[in-house]
A and B are shown apart, each in its own frame.
Chain A
Amino acid sequence: MTTTELPRTVTEAPADKVTHVVIGQRVAKIEGVDKVTGKALYGADTSRPGMLWGKMLPSPHAHAIITSIDLSAARALPGVFAVITGADLPGIVARISETDLTPEEFDTPSRGKQILAWKKVVFFGQPVVAVAAVTPAIAEEALALIKVVYEPLPVVVDPEAAMRPDAPLVQNAVFTETFSGKATTPSNIAKVTELSRGNVDEAIANAEVTVSGTFRTAMVHQGYIEPQACLAEYSADGRFTIWTSTQGQFGVRGGLSGFLKIPPRRIRVTASEIGGGFGAKGAMTLEPICTLLAYSAGRPVKMQLTRSEVLRATRPAPDAVMHVTLGARTDGTLLGARAAFIWDVGAYPGGGSVGGINCGFGPYIVPAYSYDGYDVLTNRPSTGAYRAPNGPQGAFAVESALDMLARKLGISPITLRLRNAVREGDRNPSDVPYPRIGFRETLEAIENHPVWASPKATSSRPGWLRGRGVACGLWGGGVGTSMAHVNIGEDGSAVIVTGAVDLAGTRTTMAQIAAEELQIPFERVNIVQPDTDTAPFNNPTGGSRLTYSLGTAVYRAAIDARTKLKQRASQQFRCPADEVDYRDGEFWVRSDPSIRLTIGQVARSAAGSGDGPVVGTGEVTHLLRAPAFATQLVEVEVDPETGAVQVVNVVAAQDVGRAINPTACEGQIQGGVVQGIGWALTEGYVYDEQGRLRNPGLLDYRMPTALDAPNIECVLVEVPAIDGPYGVRGVGEVPIVPTPAAVANAVFDACAGRVTSLPLCGEPVIVAMSDSRTGVDRSQMVMFNLGPIPTGNSSAPESPGEEPKLATEVEDYCAEDDVAEPEIE
């Protein structure tokens, strides 16, 4: 490990603090026993007396008008307690909140509002009706009795097709948003982002060498093994109690408060143990509908998504089409870059382009650039966050193009990247300067690694080809509000109380920080994460923010507790607090070190005397972001006959700032890399022309198994961040970013085929190999010419000539007034 001097900018520790004894240790997971004995309670593991089961009827169409819904048989089925359609939402919410609501409130193009389809369905599997019944089987029977008549509409599931003027409109009330305003006619292009610097045309015209390519990635799913699950209960005092698998119980409380239009005090949310989230459980899925069912039925309701519902109708990561051109000097120095990234954000606006651009191009100094991002609506489920959202797609395009450039110039891919790598003070594409970062250090760690330094091995499989690829990645870092209490027990032990959700190991890290600052053994620290009525406020977990932000709050709370304990000790010593010293669980009077009390003795006496027992508090709202960089070396073997690819070895170098628990850091990196391997090789949504998902199961949506995963060696680089405790950086997001590109670059190295679309296993490899033999160049595709995007402020387009026809001007398949209210019986 490389280490640099530790900064201590959060709160300067007193001088009597000397050694780090717990930070940097591979301590065992604090909640491990509960998890290996089956005691840990996940989203679906809680039940309540009198509980009903909720289920939802999915749309069989990707795009259709709902003409009528017949609920009479379902309602009459014994054991059914509630049946809800989109038409019922305003009425139920109005009763709960005692306000007047119009249907329009819920008829806006927002996935958060349209928790059930209303008037039309916009993606396959969209929930249309929800029921609650005494058993799951009766709920399913009730769904089978519901008759919905649909009038199918033309479907668009391809983002490039959705941008064309003749494309069916997915939403009637989405207007292109640009930096300069909003368009006045609806369009599938929800948002256009333009980032630029300098004169890119000139830079690329003057470049000594250019490369360009079009890269495609498939829609992929976060793949958490625990489907979303939720239990909601309403009580006659007007309060809701929710148990749910979420990345943030305060996020759910806030979200439900907004949705139900009631104050947060009427909602109590307990976050269950969470069986994987990776971003997806940062947004609400079941909570609103489960709450409405419980209210309508007057009984607690539990809901759990099936795996096919998870795949069809939660929020996967967007697929992307990315055009990239790079211009450079012969020594590899980048002069200019041009890019258009098209994101398929699904049926509702959201997602966003900037992240992918900043992740993709952020690691490099590009003097002149123009990066355009398009968020495009299609008849697919709305998309959401997946580990370093949009980073892996952006990096796949940029890191593949860099590999092409390195090969064209005949220089090492690491040399090329080192030549252009950003340093502290350089700016990212959004013009934000980097603080201290450890990018070059990760590149150097790979360059100096024995695997890179040794010659390429031959393939272990007869007839297969072996190759090696490198790629880099960046995640800007997450921040947000966190709070923690540290309760000191009467034996001098500590319990951390936080309202943050631990996705994969932060409880242990937090306990390490508290033990370190209290200078007590790790075993004497516990941590709990109670419900929103009990725990201090926290933003949801996500964006690799938790160790950084909550870590700061715990660090401050532990120091606060220590300071208070010192003051209590001084009361017991009857001397001023500044004459008390403390180390490793013992207080003493500086002038007479023979007068000593243990932390347990001080805490016990304080429980009934002086200023009383001790609770330390710590809070943080905003820290400087701590960007994390990674460089990965991937070795693959390729079967030239079938295009099969096996990843055989990975070396992953990452700047973690400071590894509080190296085992936890490695676990995050290895997990991210294997998700990246799945993204590269086998994972991807497959839609038919009617917009139906063809692989809504884990057999056909193929995630890596233990046999697909290679050995992954982690190199933890420690360049401390300038904010946050001990220089720590978030580690969770960035390891997935370089992997798909590194795999594709390794495949090229193996078989000379440049694969430009993911997932690449099989046919894409064969096509790429034959293209390279026959000299076909598919990388030079021209982007569909969009013309100017009409905005509210620019009624007259600047460019002369014929105005291009956008989707906004063609026949509106489903204008508001054309859609009659469906008949509901």
Chain B
Amino acid sequence: MAKMIVNVEVNGELQELLTEPHRTLLDLLRDNLSLTGTKEGCGSGDCGACTVLIDGRPVNSCLVLAPEAEGRRVTTVEGLAEDNKLHPVQTAFIEEGGLQCGICTPGMLISAVALLRSNTEPSEQSIRYAISGNLCRCTGYDKIVRAIEVASKRMKANAAIASH
């Protein structure tokens, strides 16, 4: 099959990627860029393990064809920490026991970060709603919800300090 070039910004870096058009954004990330932090749990949009941010919005990357990523800004779990410092959501997941096996964690973190960007004080219900497309089979979700609550409080506190 004829290959094509896709230009896409991934975690702040412009990439020029050679791919077959039937491949997905998930394949591009995992196979072309070796960014294996983004996981494949189903390949059909049902589990959320492959969630990434495209232009700031959470999307199942297994449902995005590679050509559709042309010109987009993609953020994966590898792009959450900045300057070797974990994102507050990452820290909260570790501290609150928001992960066990960790396979759902990259997608959960992305969904949580997307939520907290648009809603700095989410209720428990809106947290549950925001991650309802991310299946987790280990935790029963309870500690994930707590971790996102803790992160939102900390981010608010940090923002308050920063604005002073």
Q: Do A and B bind each other?
A: yes
What is A's interface to B at a CB cutoff of 8 Å? Answer: 26, 28-29, 31-33, 35-42, 44-45, 47, 137, 222-227, 273-278, 304, 306-307, 503-505, 663-664, 666-675, 697-699, 703, 705-707, 709, 711-712
Q: Does B152 contact A (CB under 8 A)?
A: no
Closest B-chain residue to A46, C-beta based? B36
Query: Provided the pairs A37-B78, A705-B132 are in contact, do residues A663 and B102 lie with their beta carbons within 8 angstroms?
Result: no
Which residues from B are CB-within-8-Å of A698? 41-42, 44, 46-47, 135
The answer to whether B36 and A38 touch across the interface, beta carbons within 8 angstroms, is: yes
Interface-lining segment among B65-73, B88-96, B156-164: B88-96
Alpha-carbon separation in the docked complex, A601 to B134 (Å): 49
Chain B residues, Cβ within 8 Å of A669:
140
User: Nearest chain A CB to B125's CB is how many angstroms away?
Assistant: 8
* Complex contacts, B142 vs chain A, CB 8 Å: 666, 670, 709, 711-712
Q: Which of B46, B81, B101, B131 has the most CB of A within 10 A?
A: B101
Contacts of B143 in A (CB 8 A): 663, 666-667, 670
CB distance from B3 to the nearest CB of A (A): 11
> Is B5 at the interface (CB under 8 A from chain A)?
no
- Whether A504 pairs with B43 at a CB distance below 8 angstroms is no
A505 touches B100 (CB 8 A): yes
B145 to chain A, nearest CB (A): 7
Contact A36 B144 (CB under 8 A): no
Assembly CA distance A29 to B90 (angstroms): 12
Q: Which residues of A contact B102 (CB under 8 A)?
A: 31, 35-36, 40, 273, 275
Chain B residues near A38: list those with CB within 8 A: 35-38, 76-78, 106
Binary per-residue interface labels of chain B (132-152) against chain A in the complex, 1 for a CB within 8 Å, 0 otherwise: 111111111111110000000
6 CB-based A-B contacts, threshold 8 Å: A31-B102, A32-B94, A35-B105, A674-B141, A706-B131, A712-B142
CA distance A789 to B72 in the complex (A): 67
CB neighbours of A307 from chain B (8 A): 41-44, 46-47
Q: Distance (Å) between the CB of A506 and the closest chain B CB?
A: 11
- The answer to whether B141 and A706 have CB atoms under 8 Å apart is yes
Whether B140 pairs with A712 at a CB distance below 8 angstroms is yes
Task: Let me know if A36 and B94 touch, CB within 8 A.
Answer: yes
Residues of chain B at the chain A interface (Cβ within 8 Å)? 1, 20, 22, 30, 34-44, 46-47, 49, 76-78, 80-81, 86, 90, 93-97, 99-106, 109, 127-129, 131-145
Given contact pairs A307-B43, A673-B140, A503 touches B101 in the complex (Cβ within 8 A): yes
Select B140's contact among A36, A42, A226, A709, beta carbons within 8 Å.
A709
Q: Given B49, B78, B93, which contacts A225 in the complex, CB threshold below 8 Å?
A: B49
When distances are taken between beta carbons in the complex, the residues of chain B under 8 Å from A137 are 1, 20, 22
Q: Are A35 and B135 in contact (CB under 8 A)?
A: no
CA distance A306 to B42 in the complex (A): 7
Q: Which 6 residue pairs of A and B lie closest in terms of their CB atoms, listed nearest first?
A: A38-B37, A275-B103, A670-B140, A35-B102, A32-B94, A674-B140
Whole-angstrom distance between the Cβ of A652 and the nearest chain B Cβ: 10
> B61 to chain A: closest CB distance in Å?
13
The answer to whether A707 and B103 touch across the interface, beta carbons within 8 angstroms, is no
Do B37 and A39 touch (CB < 8 A)?
Answer: yes
Task: Choose among B43, B49, B100, B137 the residue that contacts A703 (Cβ–Cβ < 8 A).
Answer: B137
A225 x B141 contact (CB < 8 A)? no
Residues on B with beta carbons closer than 8 Å to the beta carbon of A503: 100-101
B67 CB to closest chain A CB (Å) equals 16
Which of A32, A137, A273 is most buried by chain B, counting CB atoms within 10 A of its CB?
A: A32
* Distance in angstroms between the alpha carbons of A32 and B105 in the assembled complex: 10
| Cα of A506 to Cα of B20 in the assembled complex, Å | 42
Q: How far is the CA of A37 from the CA of B81 in the complex (A)?
A: 7
Additional pairs, 13, CB under 8 Å, beyond known A29-B97, A706-B132: A37-B81, A38-B76, A224-B137, A225-B41, A225-B101, A667-B138, A669-B140, A670-B143, A697-B42, A699-B44, A706-B128, A706-B131, A709-B142
Closest to A674 in B: B140
- In the complex, the answer to whether A226 meets B42 with C-beta atoms within 8 Å is no
Candidates B36, B47, B94; contact of A29 at CB < 8 Å: B94
Among B39, B94, B100, the residue within 8 A (CB) of A226 is B39
Contacting residues, chain A, for B139 (C-beta < 8 A):
667, 670-671, 674
Give Cα A675–Cα B141 distance, bound, in whole angstroms.
Answer: 11
Are B99 and A36 interface neighbours, CB within 8 A? yes
Count A-B pairs with CB separation below 8 Å.
Answer: 176
CB distance from B89 to the nearest CB of A (A): 8
How far is B141's CA from A672's CA once the two chains are assembled, in angstroms? Answer: 11
A225 touches B39 (CB 8 A): yes
Query: Are B39 and A671 interface neighbours, CB within 8 A?
Result: no
Complexed CA–CA distance, A304 and B41 (Å)? 10
Contacts of B30 in A (CB 8 A): 44-45
User: Closest CB of chain A to B139's CB: distance in Å?
Assistant: 5
Nearest CB of chain A from residue B57's CB, rounded to whole Å: 19
Give the residues in chain A near B137, CB-CB below 8 Å: 222-225, 276, 278, 671, 675, 703
The answer for the CA separation of A38 and B129 in the assembled complex, in Å, is 24
Partner of B141, one of A32, A42, A697, A709: A709
A674-B104 Cα distance, complex, nearest whole Å: 16
Chain B residue nearest to A304 in the complex (CB): B40
- B116 CB, nearest partner CB in chain A, Å: 15
Instruction: Determine whether the beta carbon of A504 is less than 8 Å from that of B44.
Output: no
B16 CB to nearest A CB, Å:
20
Residues of A within 8 A of B133 (CB): 705
Q: By the criterion CB–CB under 8 Å, are A45 and B36 in contact?
A: yes
Within the complex, what minimum Cβ distance (angstroms) separates A681 from chain B?
14
Please state if A707 and B86 are interface contacts (CB–CB under 8 Å).
no
Residues of A with C-beta under 8 A to B40: 44, 227, 304
Chain B residues with CB under 8 A of A224: 101, 103, 137
- How many whole Å from A356's CB to the nearest CB in chain B? 22
Q: How far is the CB of A39 from chain B (nearest CB, A)?
A: 7
> Which chain B residues border A664 with CB–CB below 8 Å?
97
Q: Are A227 and B99 in contact (CB under 8 A)?
A: no
The residue of chain A having its C-beta at the shortest distance from the C-beta of B145 within the complex is A706
B42 and A37 form a contact (CB under 8 A): no
Residue of A whose beta carbon sits closest to that of B111: A706
Chain A residue at smallest Cβ distance from B79:
A38
- The reply to whether A225 and B46 form a contact with Cβ atoms under 8 Å apart is no
B47 surroundings in chain A (CB, below 8 A)? 225, 307, 698
Shortest CB-to-CB span from B2 to chain A, Å, is 13
- In the bound complex, residues from chain A placing their C-beta under 8 Å from that of B103 are 42, 224-226, 275-276
| A29 vs B91: C-alpha distance when bound (angstroms) | 11
A666 vs B97: C-alpha distance in the bound complex, in angstroms?
A: 9
Out of B22, B81, B138, B145, name the residue touching A504 (CB < 8 Å): B138
B101:A274 contact, CB within 8 angstroms: yes
**Complex Cα spacing A44 to B42, Å:** 13
Instruction: Give the complex CA separation of A29 and B142 in angstroms.
Output: 16
Q: Given A137-B1, A674-B141, A712-B142: A504 and B101 within 8 A (CB)?
A: yes
Contact A706 B144 (CB under 8 A): yes
| B77 engages A227 (CB within 8 Å) | no
With the chains together, A32 CA to B10 CA distance in Å?
24
Give the distance in Å from the alpha carbon of A29 to the alpha carbon of B38 in the complex. 20
Q: Within the complex, what minimum Cβ distance (angstroms) separates A27 from chain B?
A: 10
Nearest chain A CB to B117 CB, angstrom units? 18
CB distance from A653 to the nearest CB of B (A): 16
Q: Report A-chain residues with C-beta under 8 Å of the C-beta of B41.
A: 225-227, 275, 307, 698
Min CB distance B71 to A, Å, is 24
For the complex formed, measure the closest distance between the CB of A88 and the CB atoms of chain B, giving whole angstroms: 29
Chain A contacts for B36, CB-based, 8 A: 38, 41-42, 44-45
**Neighbouring B residues of A223 by C-beta, 8 Å:** 137
Q: Is the CB of A275 within 8 A of B43?
A: no
CA distance A423 to B100 in the complex (A): 33
- Closest residue to A667 on the B side, CB-wise? B97
**A366, B72: Cα distance in complex, Å:** 67
- Asked if A707 contacts B129 (CB within 8 A), the reply is yes
Shortest B52–chain A CB gap in Å is 11
The complex places the Cα of A515 from the Cα of B34 at a distance, in Å, of 36
* B80 x A37 contact (CB < 8 A): yes
- What's the minimum C-beta distance from A489 to chain B, rounded to whole angstroms? 23
- CA A673 to CA B137, docked complex, whole Å: 11
Docked complex Cα distance between A669 and B138 (Å): 10
